[in-house]
Structure 1
Amino acid sequence: MMHSLFLTTTFALLPLTTLAQPTGTLSILTMNVAGLPAILNNNDVPGDKADNANQIGTYFATYGYDIINVQEDFNYHAYIYETDNHTYRTATSGGVPFGSGLNTLANYPWDESTFSRTKWNTCNLNSGDCLTPKGFTYMRMTIAETFTVDVYNLHTDAGDDSGDITARASNLQQVADYISANSEGQPVLVFGDTNSRYTRTGDGIRIFSTQNSLADAWVELEMGGVEPTEGSDALVCENPSPIETCEIVDKVLYRSGHDVGLTAVSFEYAGDKFLQSNGSVLSDHDPVLVQFEWTVSA
């Protein structure tokens, strides 16, 4: 008589947190790299612009920040990419007058089908804002197996006359509407050159908090969560700035998603990390560096 032996194995379902990384950190930098042709604007930055761009790329590679958004990356773009070594980088859209000057360098990939460049609906002629297709970019970036974040880079209308203020408010509203239409439930990072100050009446920077529930990392970490009053005197920053309580136009805004928590844990004006060998700045804009912690819900 033959006997059959049946082996029964029980498999336990492992919780999500054991299958994928549940927490992590993220470093992001925004920097206007002053890449307009020297004949148009020297940006009051000493030295050769091509050499300066090479040095900026070298610093990007050395520090290895996870996501870097750059603005005014026009005619010296190749010099930055020549010395940078980030794995994922957007292709340039061209120099003046063809490109937007917006690019992203990252340690993480994004879904190419989501990447877009959008031109502003409104611009004001006086500061040359209509000479290039300035606007914003969007991409959905994969940070971990269970974590994507929507990343926006922007460079709004410059200047402070009434036409600039109207155009800039329109620019910011355009981004806010895009976020509402495309990033529902997603964690969001918006960082770049907003050309805006909370103290300047009419700039419209508050639209991101009122419409999209974004927090400003500077307001949150350096100002105790209290936005400067519109119309009040602004504390002017040096470049590089030795303090973080003054306001510049380069900003980092963010929010968590349905299943992903984002928390800004440190804020820094990082200009002293981007200096020429003689101590001169490499850009007329102080870069902004923010460190985040993220958590994925099980």
Structure 2
Amino acid sequence: MRRLLGTLAAVTLTLTGLTAASPAPAAAADSGSFDVLTYNIAGLPLGLGDSDPETNTPLIGQRLGPYDIVNVQEDFNYHASLYANDKHPYRTATSGGAAFGDGLNTLSNYSFEDFQRVRWNTCTGTNCLTPKGFSLARVRLAEGVFVDLYNVHTNADSDDAALAARRANIEQLSDFIQANSSGNAVIVMGDTNTRYTRAGDNIRTLLAENGLKDPWVDLVRGGTPPAQGSDALVCDAAAPTNDCEVVDKVLYRGSELVDLTATRYSNDWASFLRSDGKHLSDHFPHRVDFSYTLDSALRASDFFGGPHGTAFNDADDLPATPSPRTLTLRGSARLDGVSLTHDGGPTLTHGGTGGTATSLTLAPGEHLTSVKLTQGRKDGRTRIFSASFTTDKGRTLSAGTPTSDSKTFTAPAGRQIAGFTGRAGDEIDKLGVVYAPIR
């Protein structure tokens, strides 16, 4: 695996501009389903593209309602008319028109958090006229059930310089996923400008390095992608079939916490036609249906805290039979760090080395069963100020300085706290827990 290239320096963190209040806790069913759509809506100013976005964008907005989660690209100068004609309750705020914004937006029936926009480090020609890149939204399907949703628009064109820039874009995205979505279920969708058939593209790198699958490859082509260097599988411009290859792609993977499966792929072009039969964009809209099943052993809580630091998830690092033994907390004015050592297994550590360390070693038959967290503001950022863990024997371990803004996570019957999820830097910015069976 290639060495990470320090993509974190290129990140801009932004709170999502949502149109609904935070949801009440929803108990996670053992399974569920949802669908997604990716669509480059060709929203460049009139005269800069081949479509008529002033007419088409409101019509596109009216057609998005049936889809649970939608990623759009080139949502530039007609963004207001798109949202005015759409009723999804959770939507990202625009980053601006052409030359100012990246054109990437997400519309969802599910709430999301930790929204980030990241600009490409490399571009060529007219691609550099607007800050193209990718975004990440952590979508909450149910209590403790999250999917990292990436929206992508890479460097276009196919000359040597453009191909090199696009390969660099794909490498930057791959590095970012490895650094920020480790242990998480992931969906990547958008205008990748790549083809499996094109010799100069490296879409296979993105899949291989991140364990991603392509529903088009699996469901339409029987699991075999087109050969690199072969003729392009060009779509019929009027009525494309699912067999042709497009640059707009949906890629995905599950996690230790949630098994994610693509059950249907469709080029939904027929749902996005004008009354005169013309397409609403110069790209086709692509739909994928997903089903998911929660792991029978591991479960997770929701999160509490702010969208800062780097994300972590201990689910991948737990031993086959989780056996927590020693919990260590570091804190003073706030919660600086958390650490949990398993019998014969790893020590899971997050945060910094500040504050005072205190530890609790569990007795045989004793388990961590709940944690009360408090949060507050420091230097304009929301952070975890304190944590207080309780065992099923009534013992507690606390660190930090409590505030009045609190949340408690309690392990379901027959389970124990065995690891952590969240975000951290020198301190703990956001925290959740992973539950494992008591054995």
TM-score by length of 1: 0.89
Query: Which residue identity is paired with 1:120?
Result: W
User: For 1:79-228, what aligned pairs fall within 5 Å after superposition?
Assistant: 79-111=81-113, 114-125=114-125, 128-228=126-226
**Structure 1 residue aligned with 2:58:** 54
Change (3 A) 1:116 1:240: farther
Residue 149 of structure 1 aligns to a residue whose secondary structure is strand
Residue matched to 2:74: 72
Give a deviation string over 1:200-240, Cα, whole Å, max 9, x none: 01211011221001001111111111111110001210245
1:37 aligns with 2:45: yes
User: Whole-Å Cα distance in 1 between the matches of residues 239 and 168 of structure 2?
Assistant: 29
- Which consecutive aligned stretches of 4+ in structure 1 deviate over 4 angstroms post-superposition? none
Deviations 1:114-150 (A, max 9, x none): 211111000011xx10000000001111001131000
The unaligned stretches of length 5 or more in structure 1 are: 1-18
Contact 2:73 2:153 in 1 (8 A): yes
CA distance in 1 between partners of 2:200 and 2:54 (Å): 36
User: Against the structure 1 CA distance between its residues 148 and 240, is the aligned structure 2 distance closer, same or farther, given a 3 Å change threshold?
Assistant: farther
1:23 and 2:27 equivalent? no
Structure 1 residue 259 displacement after superposition: 1.2
Deviation of 1:84 after TM superposition, in Å, equals 0.2
Letter in 2 for 1:81: Y
Q: C-alpha separation between the residues in 1 aligned to 2:76 and 2:238?
A: 23
Partners of 2:240 and 2:249 in 1: how far apart?
A: 17
**Counterpart residue identity of residue 282, structure 2:** D
The residue identity in structure 1 corresponding to 2:97 is: G
- Tell me, in whole angstroms, the C-alpha distance in 1 between the residues paired with 2:149 and 2:188: 6
User: Where does residue 304 of structure 2 map in the other structure?
Assistant: none
**Conserved 8 A contact 1:239-1:285:** no
Q: Secondary structure at the match of 1:231?
A: coil
Q: Indicate if the aligned counterparts of 2:272 and 2:279 stay in contact, CA closer than 8 A.
A: yes
Which whole-Å deviations, capped at 9, do the CAs of 1:14-39 have from their partners, x for residues lacking one?
Answer: xxxxx631111110000000000012
Q: 1:23 to 1:291 in 2, by over 3 A?
A: same
Q: Hey, what does 1:3 align to over in structure 2?
A: none
1:246 matched residue in structure 2: 244
Distance 1:106 1:297, change over 3 A: same
Shift of 1:88: 0.3
Higher helix share: 1
Structure possessing the higher radius of gyration over alpha carbons:
2
Which residue type is aligned with residue 30 of structure 2? P
Choose between structure 1 and 2 for higher RCO, CA contacts under 8 A separated by at least 6 residues: 1
Provide the C-alpha distance between the structure 1 equivalents of 2:240 and 2:283, rounded to a whole number of angstroms. Answer: 14
Please give the secondary structure, in 2, of the residue aligned with 1:215: coil
The answer to whether the 8 Å contact 2:28/2:145 transfers is no
What SS does the aligned partner of 1:211 have? helix
CA gap of 1:60–1:133, structure 2 versus 1, over 3 A, is same
Local SS of the residue matching 2:42: coil
Q: 2 CA distance for matches of 1:248 and 1:49? A: 21
What is the identity, as a one-letter code, of the residue corresponding to 2:63? Y
Once the two structures are superposed, what CA deviation does each residue of 1:45-69 show, in whole Å capped at 9, x if it has no partner?
3xx42221000000012x2x11100
The answer to whether the 8 A contact 1:53-1:76 is kept is yes
| Amino acid in structure 2 at the alignment position of 1:115 | F
Q: Flag the structure with higher strand content.
A: 2
Secondary structure of the residue that 1:130 maps to in structure 2? helix
Counterpart Cα distance in 2 of 1:146 and 1:158: 37
**How high is the sequence identity, in percent, across the aligned residues?**
51
**Cα pair 1:269 1:289 within 8 Å, conserved:** yes
Equivalent AA in structure 2 for residue 27 of structure 1: D
**2:228 corresponds to:** 230
How large is the RMSD of aligned CA atoms in angstroms?
Answer: 1.0
